[in-house]
Every structure is written in C-alpha cells, then in structure tokens.
Amino acid sequence: MIDSGFDRRDFLKVMGWGGTAVALSGCGNTSIEDGKETVVSYVEAPDYVIPGVGVYYNSTCAQCDAGCSINGKVREGRVLKLEGNPASPINRGKTCGLGQAGVQHHYNPDRVREPLLRNGDKGETITWEKAYALIAEKLKGVKGEEIAFLSGGVSGHLKALLGNYLDSIGCKNHYVYEALAPGVVRAANKKAYGVEMPRYNINKAKVVLSFGADFLGAWVSPVHFSQQYAQFRKGVDGQRGVLIQVESKMTLTGANADRWIPVRPGTEGILALGIINALGTTSGEIAAAVKEYDKARVSKETGVPPGHIDKIAALLKLRSPSLVLVGSAAEGYAHGSQNAAAINLLNHVLGNIGKTVQAASSVPFPQLSPTKGNTAALKSLNDGLAAGKFKVVFNYAANPVFTAPGAMKFKDNLAKAGFKVAFAHYLDETALQADLVLPLDSALEDWGTQVPEYLADGAQINIQQPLMEKLHANTRGMGDILLTLIKQRRADSYKNYEDYYAYLRAAMLQNKGALGGGGLDEDAFWNETLTKGIIKMSGTTVALSGRTGASGLTVPGAVECDEQYPLQLIPGVNISLRDGRHSNQPWLQESPDPLTTIVWDSWVEIHPKKAAELGIVEGDIVEVTSRTGSIRVQAYLFPGIHPDAISIPIGQGHEALGRYAKGYGVNPFQILDAIYDKETGELAMHETRVKVSKTGQRVIVVKDESAAGAKQIREKIAGRMSTDEVDLSKEV
C-alpha cells in the first residue's frame, strides 16, 4: 500500500478533513534558508484555513491509556498545542502535564526515522519493502508456537487487526504487558464486584478511604478522578468530602489527604480488617473473620495508633456513602491479592456497592474492548525466552529491557530469541536489542480507534486522527504495518483496503447503525465522527455481583525484621514519567516531582529519622543493595515515608531512548527481585528488600525548593483552615 499511487493524504484533502490537508503546503525539517522549502502564499486556500488563525481538530491522547480526548490547535499545517476536548465525559476539557507534552513526543528529535536492520552493533537503513520481505522470510517455516508477540495494552481496531494477523501466522503467544498495570486490583475487583474495574464515584462519596490508590497522580484515569475529586471537595449535600490515604510512601493523592496514614509496608490488608472489626457492624462470617483483628493487634502490626483506627471507623459510620479504593501500594506484595480482597470487603461492609461503586459500562463490541496489560505476561514471555522457545519475537509499545525486574535477566533471555522485530518510536533499550526496528508514526500523525479501560459515563470509542502531515517520510502507522503484514498471508480478505485509513473507515461504516449514525449517509456519518472525535453510546452494563462474604480471607502478619536487608524498597511512580516511556520529553524532565521538587534525576527518599540513624544527609550518594543488585543514587530526606521503607522513583536511568533521557538518574527496576503475587502471578513490585550504605560522596540535589527545604519561613503564604471554620457549599 505504501507505494501505490493512492495517497491517503490526498484522499483526506478530498474529504476536507484532518489538519494534514493544509500541511501539504510544506513542513518537515527543511527550511526556507536551505532552499528545500519555498514560501508560497495560498492562491486558493482550503475553506477553513486562514493564515494566522488556529484550526482545532479532535483526537485522542496517547500518552497513557486513560483515553482523554484532545483538541489539537493546528496552524499553517503544524500542531502547536493540545487542549482537552470538553465533550469527553472522561476528561471534560482537561489535560494533565503528561498529555500537554504529547506534542514533544511528536516533534521529538530522537524519533526513529528509517527502518533499521542490525549489522553487528549498528543499524543499517533499509527500505520498507525489504523490511516486510525480511519478516515474511523469517516467518517462513516457523511454527506458531515459536513466535511471540509482546505488546502494551491494545484496543479498538488495531487490536482486531493484530488479532487477525497473529491468527494468520498461527501465533498464540500474544503477551500483553504493562509495567504499571493494576493487575492484582483487577483480579480482586473481579472477585469482589464481578467486574475488573467498576465505576468509582468519588464525587458522590462523603469519605474516601484510599489504600495507596494514587488517583490524582498516576492511577487508572487521573484526569477524570481529579475532576471528581474537585466536586468531592465541594461536597455532597453541603458536606465537604474527607480523604484518608493509607500508604507507606506518600503519593500526590496522599499529599492532598485530610489524614495521611503511614502504615508499615504490606500491612494494608490488616488495617482494613482492623477497621471492619472496629466498625462492629458485621455479623456471621465476616465478623468471625475479623474477630482476631482487634485494635491492639492491628495497631502493633501496622504501626497505626489505636486512636486513629477508632476515628476512621467512627467517621465511616457517621458519613455515608463512603468509598474504599485499593491501589498499587496495597497490591504490590506477595500477598497483594489478600490485601486487595480485605480492602474491597470494606466496601461491602459499608454498603457502598451500588452507590459509590457502580457497574461499569462496556462497549458493545467485544472485539474492540481493551486487552489489558499485566506483569504476569512478562513472566511467561521471559520463561519462554529463557527456554529458547521463540524463533521470532515482535515487540510493540513495551520496553521490557528497561522495565523488567533485574532478577528476571530479561535482556539476556531476549538474546536467545532468533529474530527480534521492534515497532518503535524511539531507539529505546528494547529496540536496541532488536534485529529489525520499524519506525512508527507519532500519535498525532496516525489513524486509530481506542477504547479506554475506565469508561466514565456510558461507553465510548475514541477516534485518533492525524493532526498534521507526517514529519518524517519513512515512518508508518502501526495499523498500516499490520495491514501490509496480514496481506502477506491473507491477501484476498484485505485486498479492498488500500491502507489502514480505508480499513478503519470501512469498518466504522459497516457498523454505522450501531454507532449512532443510522440516519446519516456514509460521508456525513464519517465526517461527524471525525469532527467529534468520540463516538458515545449507552453501552452494555454488567451488573455488579461477586462475593460479599469473607470465606478464605486471610492476611499474613507483618514481616519479621530482616537483619541483612532491613528496608522495603518502594518504586515510586512519578506523575509525569510513569513507567519511563516518556522520559525523553524535556518538559516532563524539567517538571519538578510534586513532592520533592527534584528535576532531571533520581533520588532515594529516606525518612529523616532513619537517615539520622544511618548518618545520611541530603545529597549523600548512597548505595542501595538488594538481593538482585545495587544502584547508587542521591539521598533526599522525605518525611512522607515510613521509616522502614525507602523509595526510588521509576522512569529515570535510561541507557538509551534519547538525549533528554539517557544518562539521567538510575533505574530501580534493575534491582527488583522477581517476587510474585501468590494468587495472580503478578509482579510484587513493593516486595524487594534492600539495605542502604553511604559511599562517602555528596552532591547538591537539583530541585526547585529552596535551601530552607520545604518549610515556610517567616510569613506563611499557604495556610490551612479547619472544616469547622468554613462552609464550602456557600461559596461561588
């Protein structure tokens, strides 16, 4: 399709849609000065183009999987800024910092521009024809079970096409991997509520008790939850919502809590059972299950004072409905499933089901609904690689060489695969190991559909459309690549689709009626779809079901002190950098971490009390050693962490990716032990134990806060009032 006479951009122009049409007049990395580009005024400008005036096109943000709809400002063929699309029930016109930086993904100077074939240590530029032929050749005679396809979460038509391609090559090994997926929480929710991700109504709750769910920062759908949070603070029936956050390392959500409760790492489930016990409203099976968890014992094991447990229980009793959330801090242990089950039980006990925990809708097309990534998939892939099972390995939208725990030795195992193909935006750590690297279009250049895992209101399919002409001539959309590959096998079935755009359009028009375009003709429906950027539908609702009892519910006690490795390592999830795939976007590197204000680097958070014990001061380079390995990193004294734990943020420590990422900070994944949740097989991210020793070196920490630390000296400019003093419901 690539070399056919048909130009999809021309087609677009005919259609009168997409910012791309304007861009035909010239952009890319040429300049007027070098003579490759000339200034030509519009003799006959397209109707909607006025030089100097921005035109806005709707699309979907691809910086994370939350599925926020965006509205891109396009001027003279270039996309300048992304705003939220107010029509989307998910983000309602809002964006996060990560989403804002989407343009830096698109314009990134370190994107891969040509297909590269390994020649020793170097990548040699080859043509797409050769690349496709090479894949066909490498797949020849290879059995389906000898092929592995690793990807991040996929949804929409890309998922359908990928499934068909894998089917055509007989590959049954599709590993869907997300380094930071809430895998254990999904499984626990499925048991407790009957769905993996129910709809949470933070805005309807009077109390939110969150066990390590960083819903304002990096959990599931942060922009959506942030808006709910704002409503929750204004209050239901005039009563301002109260947020209690239980976690061992303060997250952004913890920093916004009315009460932040530092709990001994891993004992979140015990505290949940202790609260059920203190509520004293249960009987029968549940009461029997929590009988042992009296205040004295719970307090001893969790480190939470008995008075606090009483206060929480009293508040939960008094103010209903409440909402209990279980997040990544509680699930990250070998007993993560048990923790999550105990915490979810609280929602049943408090009667929140059906009020603040509601049935989620799903898109009525199962073939488009998201295939969610988890970390158990990485383990099976790694085991297969270690056993030398795979002759051909594909990788798309995942960077396991960077994000796999060091103990897995993923990079070494990957080397055992015969032929490795990476579909990549950047030469990241995993792409560098590949034999063939195929450059992808940016999310602002590509077509697609997306269905988010967390649907806010009804169901929706998000449309992704190019906001401008491709920056680099030799990148391709993932859909286009898959379509070409599938034509190698099933030419007849796909011969009607010139390219992915044609496929997508045809697929959407086929279901016009079901997608709400029953009364419209094809062009009108398609144009309306692209204009809106979202197809809303009522969706099918699965009623909540699931276990309400407590049978088989046990939570192990707090771990005994480990003399050799006395501290728990908590990999911190930074709101901007997440799993590290966006670390090469300089705005994000220069955006201070909200809690420490550190930029362009990694750090280890140590509680001041523990630091004093170890003789560590800010800026000391310390060696953090686990059973798997060790890394050296600057110390930052942080009061928002349990003294038995330390935390290093993930996302930094790249050895590749690009100029803004490579060589900054350290990668804590490298020293993570391979410990798994016993029930789900998900990686227990918080289970690694470490020791810390000084190296004698010291640096000045590069951060935004002053030398005085995060304290207000002299006059206070940011104060705090108590709820006794104000009534927010009376405010404007």
Partner 1 sequence: MSVSNLLENWSQFRHFHPVDDKPHDPYKWAMSIDLDACSGCNACSVACYAENNLPVVGREKYAHGHVMHWMRIEHYWDEDVGEEGGREFPDQGAQFLPMMCQQCEAAPCETVCPVGATNHTADGLNSQIYNRCVGSRYCEANCPYKVRYFNWYDYPTTDNVWPAEMTQQLNPDVTVRGKGVMEKCTFCVQRLNAAKVAAKSEGRIVHDGEVQTACQQACPTSAISFGNLVDPESRVHKQWQAQQVEIDKEKQAKDMQEGGTELRGYRILENMRPYPSVMYLERVRESAV
E-only strand ranges, 268-370: 322-326, 357-358, 361-362
**Cβ atoms 119, 141 nearer than 8 A:** no
Nearer Cβ to partner 1 (50/136): 50
Q: How far is the CB of 270 from partner 1 (least distance, A)?
A: 19
Stretch that binds partner 1, among 292-300, 411-419, 540-548, 720-728 (CB under 8 A): 720-728
Give the one residue of 124, 285, 704, 729 binding partner 1; rule: CB under 8 A.
704
According to DSSP, the β-strands at 448-450 and 436-439 are unpaired
Q: How far is the CB of 592 from partner 1 (least distance, A)?
A: 7
Give the one residue of 203, 226, 358, 475 binding partner 1; rule: CB under 8 A.
226
Q: Burial-class residue 97 by CB neighbours within 10 Å (0-12, 13-18, 19+).
A: middle
Cβ atoms within 10 Å of 56's Cβ, excluding its own:
14
Nearer Cβ to partner 1 (29/540): 29
Tell me how far CA of residue 705 lies from CA of 95, 600, 636, in angstroms: 25, 14, 12
Q: Does residue 592 touch partner 1 according to CB under 8 A?
A: yes
Give the one residue of 9, 81, 489, 536 binding partner 1; rule: CB under 8 A.
81
Q: Does residue 83 touch partner 1 according to CB under 8 A?
A: yes
**Cβ atoms 19, 466 nearer than 8 A:** yes
Cβ atoms within 10 Å of 661's Cβ, excluding its own:
28
Q: Does residue 600 touch partner 1 according to CB under 8 A?
A: yes
According to DSSP, the β-strands at 645-650 and 567-573 are parallel
Tell which positions 10-29 bind partner 1, by CB under 8 A. Answer: 27, 29
E-only strand ranges, 263-336: 322-326
First to last CA, the chain: 57
Q: Does residue 425 touch partner 1 according to CB under 8 A?
A: no
Tell which positions 204-223 bind partner 1, by CB under 8 A. Answer: 216-217, 222-223
Q: How far is the CB of 387 from partner 1 (least distance, A)?
A: 42
Q: Is the dihedral of CA 151, 157, 163, 167 positive or negative?
A: negative
Stretch that binds partner 1, among 228-236, 383-391, 403-411, 456-464 (CB under 8 A): 228-236
Tell which positions 310-349 bind partner 1, by CB under 8 A. Answer: 311-312, 315
Q: How far is the CB of 699 from partner 1 (least distance, A)?
A: 10
Tell which positions 36-65 bind partner 1, by CB under 8 A. Answer: 52
Tell which positions 611-670 bind partner 1, by CB under 8 A. Answer: 637, 639-640, 659-660, 664
Q: How far is the CB of 216 from partner 1 (least distance, A)?
A: 5
Give the one residue of 546, 594, 619, 629 binding partner 1; rule: CB under 8 A.
594
Tell which positions 441-480 bind partner 1, by CB under 8 A. Answer: 471
Stretch that binds partner 1, among 239-247, 378-386, 521-529, 559-567 (CB under 8 A): 239-247
Here the tokens at position 533 are 């950027």
Here the tokens at position 267 are 């004992």
Tell which positions 258-277 bind partner 1, by CB under 8 A. Answer: 258-262
Here the tokens at position 635 are 């110390």
Start-end of H helices in 61-177: 97-100, 102-106, 128-139, 156-168
Strand ranges of the sheet holding 122-125, from the earlier edge strand across to the other edge:
122-125, 116-119, 436-439, 419-424, 392-396, 147-151, 174-176
Nearest to 91 by CA among 283, 275, 222: 222
Q: Burial-class residue 596 by CB neighbours within 10 Å (0-12, 13-18, 19+).
A: buried
Q: Does residue 80 touch partner 1 according to CB under 8 A?
A: yes
Tell which positions 557-576 bind partner 1, by CB under 8 A. Answer: 575-576
Task: Say how far apart CA 443 and CA 59 lie, in whole Å.
Answer: 9
Q: Does residue 375 touch partner 1 according to CB under 8 A?
A: no
